[in-house]
Chain A
Amino acid sequence: MKQTVATLAIAGLLGLGLAGSAAATHPRHHAAASKSSDATVGAMPRVGGHPDLSGVWSVMNTANWDIEPHASSAALQLRPGPVVPVPAKDVVALGAIGSVPAGLGVVDGGTLPYTPDGLKQRDDNKAHYLERDPEIKCDLPGVPRANYMALPFQILQSDKSMMIAYEYAGAARNILFDDPGPAPTDSWMGQSVAKWDGDTLVVTVTGQLDSTWFDRAGNFHSGDMVVVERWTPVNANLIHYSATITDPATFSRPWTMNMNLYRHLGADAQLQQFKCVEFVEELLYGKLRKNPLP
């Protein structure tokens, strides 16, 4: 009995240590996690012996604008101005709504470890943002981007299975606990194979197309990218999320992003629909109308 207690205590310390080490690389997240570990908030409910992550979740950060640290700016795409860069012509009318909110970034170390060619491509993407960001066309977002868009998502988990429904574009992920082997073909959301590491859900995502981005800042990846997500419940209403990206074709080394996911509570815990396909028809097909709008 004493041995069991001692083992649990050690495991608890190890668990705290692991959680701490994940967050310690990014002090901002460490602080956020500490603050939210309020004793008045209970532990995550459990199902089938594991934390039950079911519910509606979202981030409170600006990673979807740019996963690197960034100051606020006038627009997602700029052009040279007489004094300072100004919004590209196509977004001028949006005014402050089209501007970019500042963000602390979510990448460990702050800067993405691009290869020289990768960095050139990212900068070119940024310069041609309006033509290239797949989000503009309402394309499926891929992983990890789906998890930190401005819109929430709902995890559905039982003791046997799990899926994630995203509000953005009605995207969905089938979280597989039985590894079916390599994905038969690449897809926008990839193939997610999960296992439990203690109370952390570890999901390895492979088979993603090279067509998705990380954010609205042109940060991209290749079709060889492997994403390992770690979903660690901190308390009933908070999940620490990390994703380690391995993509030698784009980055000089693997890198990790960290952030918090917050539970939507009460009446807010209802996923709405954002089937944006119909919203982009004018953009994609407007010129093909019988009578194009002026």
Chain B
Amino acid sequence: MTNWIDIGALEDIPQRGARVVKTARGCVAVFRTGEDEVHALDDRCPHKGGPLSEGIVHGGSVTCPLHNWVFDLNSGVAKGADEGQVATYAARVEDGRILLDATDLVARSAA
């Protein structure tokens, strides 16, 4: 089951940038690439907890601002020599609005 929630307009996030969504289980970073794709990942680097939403977005990747680990925005998997993975959430754009699948995010906090 999916639970699409409208979290804002695409323009609210700068191209090659990110904003966070606060949830009961911590912040989720929502990225917008240079191609206007959106991706949602936990805003916590598996290395030492760096806020990925503050990183530089390039192609389909983000570089953690603390120690430069690079993550694939689609899979959340660390690239290159580093090992680790960030949880991802389904997100899409419709009519200029960003929709986030909040199934795992809202349900838990309501319980």
Co-assembled chains A and B:
no
User: Interface residues, chain A, CB within 8 Å of chain B?
Assistant: none
